[in-house]
Amino acid sequence: MNKHLFGDTATLLGRSLRHILRSPDTIITTAITPIAMLLLFVYVFGGAIDTGDVKYVNYLLPGILLITVASGIAYTAYRLFLDLQGGIFERFQSMSIARSAVLWGHVLTSVVANFASLALVVLVALLMGFRSSAGVLTWLGVAGILALFTLALTWLAVIAGLAAKSTDGAGGFAYPIIFLPFISSAFVPTDRMPGPVRWFAEHQPVTSIVNTIRNLYAEQAVGNDIWAALAWCVGVLVLAYGIAMMVYRRKIS
């Protein structure tokens, strides 16, 4: 059964990736807004924000990476909605194909496309002066956290794509997620925020993920942030996957 699932998922992943390659503007569009924000905050607002001895581009980058992923998953929900409306799912169900392979094809495509967008953002950050002396293993840890974050958000996108009534609804769910980094430690230290805002910023998932990524490539102790980040990502992933599969079975049955 697993072999059947893996083979079917690989086939459907190839189908989705071919669509991406025919329309690479999706990856570019996903990266444009985060890159514009990176330029704006570093060159316009960066001089007014005190981050101590840390260069602002180094401080800002983790939050921009999370915004990049949040922007990218909107396209996953959109593509899934179009496949559902176009009857592709019904055609796949009439074939001898693993039931969840259709969804996994979209999910893994999201991971690949988002990492391409993330690479563009990091390249621009390097041109802007971002530097890190962290080793390969540390950067693999950063990539692992970003992959887990992408998987968690993508399964949320699957729920939106399956439940949406319109293309606007499919993609629009990502806006609250894109907004979350603004009320976190992504742009400014939380200790400069007023009381209630500071409490929310310090206890929402983005702050622990941002702090973990920032401390990893700065080669500083990650403390409890890494456990909070992993718990949030895994918790959202498991919950979103369970709900997505339940919605999928009801839609296709």
pLDDT above 90 covers a percentage of the chain that reads: 49
Spatial neighbors of 152 by CB under 8 A, at least 6 apart, are 232, 233, 234, 236, 237, 240
Distances in whole angstroms, Cα of residue 52 to Cα of each of 55, 149, 172, 223 = 8, 28, 36, 20
Distance CA 167, CA 79 (A): 9
User: Average pLDDT of the chain?
Assistant: 85
pLDDT at 96 over 60: no
The pLDDT of 200-209, averaged and rounded, is 95
Spatial neighbors of 145 by CB under 8 A, at least 6 apart, are 209, 212, 213, 216, 229, 230, 233
The pLDDT of 67-75, averaged and rounded, is 90
Task: Specify the pLDDT at position 80.
Answer: 82
**CA end-to-end distance (rounded Å), the chain:** 20
- Confidence band (pLDDT; 50, 70, 90) for 144? very high
pLDDT at 2 over 80: no
Q: With contact defined as beta carbons under 8 Å apart, do 72 and 30 qualify?
A: yes
The pLDDT of 83-112, averaged and rounded, is 71
2-16, 131-145, 170-184, 216-230: segment of lowest average pLDDT? 2-16
Distance CA 243, CA 7 (A): 24
Residue 137 buriedness (CB in 10 A; 0-12 / 13-18 / 19+)? exposed
Task: Give me the helices (H) in the chain, please.
Answer: 2-22, 25-40, 56-85, 88-93, 101-127, 136-163, 167-172, 174-179, 195-203, 205-217, 225-252
